[in-house]
Structure 1
């Protein structure tokens, strides 16, 4: 076995570039996998840590149906339930320079039994919080990042208004910073109310209740006002974290696609390594080496390749995770909840998972080559044609296997109520099935080359079929990567056009007035005097009113919009599977609600179903009159008439005002007048529908930035794969190319031959990528996005993307052919023809 190991290792020592390409291919696949894993895990862990620090031992929350509690409820509960640990809470987000920090208000006298971490600050700092207006505590990590310390002033922006606070000390008093408190500002309740403009109100009251505290539950039901609800804290936190679950799954699926392409690369490398050592393996078999020993040796080689590539991939992934983390957290903060993490945490589990995935993929990819080497007879192994004959005999079986995989993929993809993960598995099966058909299709394409073609072209094209065992797989890998790029590109373009049409229909007013907000937090209402004065301005032809809030229900915390349209007879939404005017007429006349498509999809609701919402008068059931298209969030939206909302929630506030301008009146002329009506003009956003569309499209581009990066990396892995295949062909055809040089072919003609063959492979990959790209785009648009986010979209295919796919694959193949062409040009016939 020592002789076998030494003989096999020397093969890779003599072909370092081939070894490096194999290791790099698996390294890039693992790097994508581990970087996505670490970035996603870091953002989720950071949110969970910060939530744990802010909730502590809290088991339940008391929240209001209308969004905020009257602060007088807290002392009343303290008097009547004095033996129950409880503490008031206020939370909001403030901007400091280019960072978002969480501001939490707390009561130092009530925190000890609820949140020990927040109550453990130094005594002097707590005294400053209670006696010094505008005093805050800051986490050590955040303070170090901002370059500030105790005694320094800090300017924060709240809803567009700049306010100054003074740092009284650190939240974490110990010398060792606490990562759970990163991005946190802590203030006394009164100070937080003032900074966040929540005077006299609380966001919630946190309680610590025992599991068997049935008596306390009964007392609370008799004490709480109708507009207050007791909810489970753990369930609410879990529901918040699960918001981004589908987004994370899709990112991980994209990273696995790169590893799948890397698997093709390892297969190609190990197959060619076995082919190059056919004489050595045959001699070893004649000398008594068993089939099991040869198979074990090849699998061990693949495992070592996988280990080296995976270790390099872990290093690259750790580097890439930092850049990817910013993009992922930006998207999560835009769409779901604000994440203040700035550093990624290294999860040993994620590293081990990616390491095992890389090694397992390598061994799996090398298994066919190991079986072939172990099962082939010694004499036959010495013939190069044996492998190609085996491949051609296997083509019908591969096509049949591809048909089975394709049918199974379609079944999983369109299985009713199958969920997201089976659909993604179906996508992978379809891509794999298509790849199994590509060698057969390539054989058919090479047969179309006419006998009257230029000899060099005919020689290059027929040469690809002669080395089908490698060119077929390399083309399949490049084709799948380009198809993924095409499919994702069509999906993104379809989404872009759908959102543009939706915004055009939704944004009917000319100007919109609102306060800045954050995901998951209700915006502050506009001053009633501002609204009254604004609608009376000259040039205002009409107006609409909206109130966004959050309500509790058996389905969880849901976003609610109370809407008053400018024209009650004109539908303000586009409805799904129903007549818009019929649904709208019912909505305006009856005590019903309409819900967004993501909300209905997430909770399996249909028109006519009932949804129970917590109102100021207790739990009330509402019938769903219709389902409307909405792409603002995948968490869903419930819409109720504003007059009905005012009656049931005792809330007449308005968070958004839409203004319709008369003919001839410009937006630029009205904006200054609206800002002049408010004393706090800095807290107002006055934007035209055009500006909102531009901001929405910019948010859309940020959301898909991560997808674009992963798509390019997958193509990079395929580029390395086809380079490896071309090098293998060039090395194997050294004697053939030397004969051509001896017969009079010039170095330039030899270079042209290599580039022609390379371009043909790229052309084949591009042609094969188009149908698969369209299939993947249809699956992504019609199935994956609907199951992931609840969004149904129209498929939009532009001619540019269809011709860009072959151009991309040809370009990638030609780039990969630069080095093999250079090697062929420098070929010395005499040395190449010499027997080893």
Structure 2
């Protein structure tokens, strides 16, 4: 927890391992901020330049750093190196001073030189990094004599060399392959990336409806042309290939434009996503968007494939039109009406498959999302049947309220089911996603607020600045500041927290050591061996508590579980006294008594303090007073209870900000789908509307008719979206979130998402009908009736 003693590195070097093919290089890393670097978290990386050559070429290539700058880097206190990209971005040059904030302490450094990265990989690695000699890094971070790790290169397959290396290491130092370290990082963000991918694929699914409607509009617009071609001898297969080839060409163009637009939009999204990763996992300092060829190819392939698949039904429709019926839709709508029951039956089968996939005990998210998509698409396939039933039920009401037009509108929706059902389904899915995500986020927020109310019982909280919101930094509270805090007037009790990362056979684990005797009372337990006071007694006797995400991550039983940690005296197994609800980290936490931790690791440092004030004390006034008193010693974050809760909720809201953009995108795509469906209907009904205009239907009445139709379509989409959104919310809360992050959320139903969804569905449909209605009113009656 306190880092690696540098004498371990000295031992390895003196043992002559380099002569046996084993290269080694010490590393010390921490996160700092500087006003000269935009006050962003920046990694301070301490290295030994003379040992770096086999590992990294940042300072070993003579062409990268002039000799005088390299000499200053090695010999002068506070000397650091920046990459040319970072230096140019902030207008810094060799000799420029840097004010660094490290763990609440102000340090002074200067730019000894500017690195010129030799390749793009080095450029990306050095972006957002300050490079220092290992001794300089130890001085700047206040960690004299400590290292974070020692990088090693061991001859492949040489087990004897590895054995000699391990024999030189203390009991509490282990050798881990790089793949294990990288795998741990991949595992931390796997669920986050999978959820983003699923939301992106959901937008693609809604886009399928848009492509379908667009190609359908194209086919409807040219139905007479296809009929003429068939009369001239063009075969059905040739018509099918013609339409599909058009779709393929459009798909290629659209996918290329989409990839380019995705890169541009990625520039805006990268800040939100990196902030979320900083809040939840670890610090990243991404400044730009990397566009790997594999990702671009994947996006283009999915776009083209989706286009071809969505265009296949319209292409088949164009090919199947007999020459003599090319000018009639009766056959198509007759097929659509006959397909309603078949679609409803197929939807039941698809939903059953989805439920079966969700019921599988797999921990992976691919199966869960596959089942979710199957259920959503299955409900969408119920749209034709539900639309027909709702329109039949609405006809008496609409005819009573709207007269003849009120009777015509629902019948028109049903008579054009091959067009309207797809548009309604697209809008329904987009709106149901809004409901489902809103309910999930609302339930999550409600759960977090309740959890904060239960666990944040201190009056004032004090901690060093941290680069992440959920992962403790290596910074600790200065003992002088600790003494000032404990002797402050009005402070009745001080609870101490030591948060560290400890190695284990399962990799690095987050450990929280506490001395709060009310720990059991201030936690909600998933399972516990006894009452809350008995849990605390068990912890003092050598047991630990683990958070629910930790228990789910490692499949611990509700009772009788064990956790093994690597201590200075070797691996030690701790019984688990309780599993508690926790939403601070998706990776999970092991909580133990501070007295037990200090006895095992001999670590007297403090990560944070919680102050319990005497009755009548003002937390805000105490916080302001302590802030001023501690400033000369160490810059610490001093927050009253409410401020800490507010900050936690700010982090929460920031985490889910990107989901709002994806919801908006899905709704926008669905709106365009409704628009294209209505334009297709306009062409389908051209002669019918011409007859109505000829017998006296006014332009104003036509506007009313179209508005009624679109309003009814929006209402059906909104009504269908409500149960669909609720089902989606239940899946997200009780299956996806639990498998992604290990959290149990409490469902919180509120009417706002349902009301908003209905309003959005109806308004989107009405807005989508404005342009088609305007086109219809400007249509020449004689032209519309040409073939009658």
CA shift, 1:77, in A, is: 2.9
Aligned to 2:521: 571
Q: Which of 12, 15, 18 is residue 80 of structure 1 equivalent to?
A: 15
CA contact (8 A) 1:616 1:650 kept: no
Q: How does 1:214-253 map to 2 (within 5 A)?
A: 214-253=159-198
**Residues 1:116 and 2:57 are matched in the alignment:** yes
Q: How does 1:391-430 map to 2 (within 5 A)?
A: 391-430=336-375
CA shift, 1:260, in A, is: 0.8
For residues 76 and 573 of structure 1, do their structure 2 counterparts lie closer, same or farther at Cα, with a shift above 3 Å needed?
Answer: same
User: In structure 2, how many angstroms separate the alpha carbons of the residues matched to 1:253 and 1:636?
Assistant: 24
Aligned to 2:730: 778
Aligned to 2:436: 487
For residues 678 and 384 of structure 1, do their structure 2 counterparts lie closer, same or farther at Cα, with a shift above 3 Å needed?
Answer: closer
Q: Which of 290, 306, 309 is residue 361 of structure 1 equivalent to?
A: 306
Aligned to 1:544: 495
What do the CA deviations read for 1:506-559 (whole angstroms, capped 9, x no partner)? 111111111112345643222334334422332122221110000111211111
Moved over 4 A (4+): 173-177, 679-682
User: In structure 1, how many angstroms separate the alpha carbons of the residues matched to 2:74 and 2:253?
Assistant: 58
User: In structure 2, how many angstroms separate the alpha carbons of the residues matched to 1:703 and 1:227?
Assistant: 36
**Residues 1:438 and 2:383 are matched in the alignment:** yes
CA contact (8 A) 2:459 2:613 kept: yes
What do the CA deviations read for 1:150-205 (whole angstroms, capped 9, x no partner)? 12223333234443321111233659872332111111122111222212322222
CA contact (8 A) 1:412 1:418 kept: no
User: In structure 2, how many angstroms separate the alpha carbons of the residues matched to 1:729 and 1:655?
Assistant: 66
**Residues 1:501 and 2:450 are matched in the alignment:** yes
Q: How does 1:310-459 map to 2 (within 5 A)?
A: 310-448=255-393, 449-450=395-396, 452-453=400-401, 454-459=403-408
Q: Which of 306, 328, 331 is residue 251 of structure 2 equivalent to?
A: 306
User: In structure 2, how many angstroms separate the alpha carbons of the residues matched to 1:825 and 1:831?
Assistant: 13
For residues 707 and 381 of structure 1, do their structure 2 counterparts lie closer, same or farther at Cα, with a shift above 3 Å needed?
Answer: same
Partner SS state of residue 544, structure 1: strand
CA contact (8 A) 1:408 1:426 kept: yes
CA contact (8 A) 1:303 1:362 kept: yes
What do the CA deviations read for 1:759-810 (whole angstroms, capped 9, x no partner)? 1111111111000000000000110011111111011111111111110111
Q: Which of 622, 632, 637 is residue 584 of structure 2 equivalent to?
A: 632
Q: How does 1:635-654 map to 2 (within 5 A)?
A: 635-654=587-606
Aligned to 1:97: 38
Aligned to 1:184: 129
User: Mind listing any 5+ residue stretches in structure 2 that lack a counterpart?
Assistant: none
What do the CA deviations read for 1:12-37 (whole angstroms, capped 9, x no partner)? xxxxxxxxxxxxxxxxxxxxxxxxxx
Q: Which of 84, 87, 92 is residue 148 of structure 1 equivalent to?
A: 92
TM-score w.r.t. the length of structure 2 is 0.94
User: In structure 2, how many angstroms separate the alpha carbons of the residues matched to 1:602 and 1:402?
Assistant: 34
User: In structure 1, how many angstroms separate the alpha carbons of the residues matched to 2:166 and 2:266?
Assistant: 48
User: In structure 1, how many angstroms separate the alpha carbons of the residues matched to 2:149 and 2:573?
Assistant: 24
**Residues 1:767 and 2:702 are matched in the alignment:** no
CA contact (8 A) 2:525 2:578 kept: yes
CA contact (8 A) 1:89 1:106 kept: yes
**Residues 1:165 and 2:117 are matched in the alignment:** no
Aligned to 2:786: 834
CA shift, 1:388, in A, is: 0.4
User: In structure 1, how many angstroms separate the alpha carbons of the residues matched to 2:555 and 2:119?
Assistant: 51
Aligned to 1:60: none
Q: Which of 402, 414, 426 is residue 465 of structure 1 equivalent to?
A: 414
CA shift, 1:295, in A, is: 1.8
User: In structure 1, how many angstroms separate the alpha carbons of the residues matched to 2:198 and 2:451?
Assistant: 28
For residues 290 and 189 of structure 1, do their structure 2 counterparts lie closer, same or farther at Cα, with a shift above 3 Å needed?
Answer: same
CA shift, 1:415, in A, is: 1.2
**Residues 1:474 and 2:474 are matched in the alignment:** no
For residues 213 and 647 of structure 1, do their structure 2 counterparts lie closer, same or farther at Cα, with a shift above 3 Å needed?
Answer: farther
For residues 74 and 418 of structure 1, do their structure 2 counterparts lie closer, same or farther at Cα, with a shift above 3 Å needed?
Answer: closer
Q: How many residues align?
A: 770
User: In structure 2, how many angstroms separate the alpha carbons of the residues matched to 1:173 and 1:352?
Assistant: 28
CA shift, 1:673, in A, is: 4.2
CA contact (8 A) 1:587 1:641 kept: no
CA contact (8 A) 1:542 1:566 kept: no
CA contact (8 A) 1:157 1:163 kept: yes
User: In structure 2, how many angstroms separate the alpha carbons of the residues matched to 1:500 and 1:557?
Assistant: 29
CA shift, 1:382, in A, is: 4.0
Q: Which moved more, 1:250-259 or 1:271-280?
A: 271-280
User: In structure 2, how many angstroms separate the alpha carbons of the residues matched to 1:632 and 1:590?
Assistant: 26
For residues 488 and 562 of structure 1, do their structure 2 counterparts lie closer, same or farther at Cα, with a shift above 3 Å needed?
Answer: same
What do the CA deviations read for 1:227-263 (whole angstroms, capped 9, x no partner)? 3332223311221133111111111111111111111
CA shift, 1:339, in A, is: 1.2
Q: How does 1:580-599 map to 2 (within 5 A)?
A: 581=532, 584-585=535-536, 587-599=538-550
CA shift, 1:583, in A, is: 6.0
Aligned to 2:214: 269
Aligned to 1:558: 509
CA shift, 1:677, in A, is: 5.1
For residues 768 and 534 of structure 1, do their structure 2 counterparts lie closer, same or farther at Cα, with a shift above 3 Å needed?
Answer: same
Q: CA RMSD in A?
A: 2.1
User: In structure 2, how many angstroms separate the alpha carbons of the residues matched to 1:438 and 1:580?
Assistant: 52
Q: Which moved more, 1:625-634 or 1:265-274?
A: 265-274
Partner SS state of residue 117, structure 1: coil
Q: How does 1:25-64 map to 2 (within 5 A)?
A: none
CA contact (8 A) 2:546 2:578 kept: yes
Partner SS state of residue 155, structure 1: strand
Higher relative contact order (CA 8 A, sep 6+): 1
Q: Which moved more, 1:261-270 or 1:499-508?
A: 261-270
CA contact (8 A) 2:97 2:108 kept: yes
For residues 689 and 815 of structure 1, do their structure 2 counterparts lie closer, same or farther at Cα, with a shift above 3 Å needed?
Answer: same
CA shift, 1:118, in A, is: 3.7
Q: How does 1:624-773 map to 2 (within 5 A)?
A: 624-675=576-627, 678=630, 680-773=632-725
User: In structure 2, how many angstroms separate the alpha carbons of the residues matched to 1:171 and 1:598?
Assistant: 42
CA contact (8 A) 1:499 1:631 kept: yes
Q: Which moved more, 1:199-208 or 1:678-687?
A: 678-687
CA shift, 1:322, in A, is: 0.6
CA contact (8 A) 1:534 1:677 kept: no
CA contact (8 A) 1:92 1:102 kept: yes
Partner SS state of residue 342, structure 1: coil
CA contact (8 A) 2:220 2:683 kept: no
For residues 70 and 677 of structure 1, do their structure 2 counterparts lie closer, same or farther at Cα, with a shift above 3 Å needed?
Answer: farther
Q: Which moved more, 1:809-818 or 1:377-386?
A: 377-386
Q: Which moved more, 1:403-412 or 1:325-334?
A: 325-334
**Residues 1:205 and 2:150 are matched in the alignment:** yes
Partner SS state of residue 41, structure 2: strand
For residues 67 and 372 of structure 1, do their structure 2 counterparts lie closer, same or farther at Cα, with a shift above 3 Å needed?
Answer: same
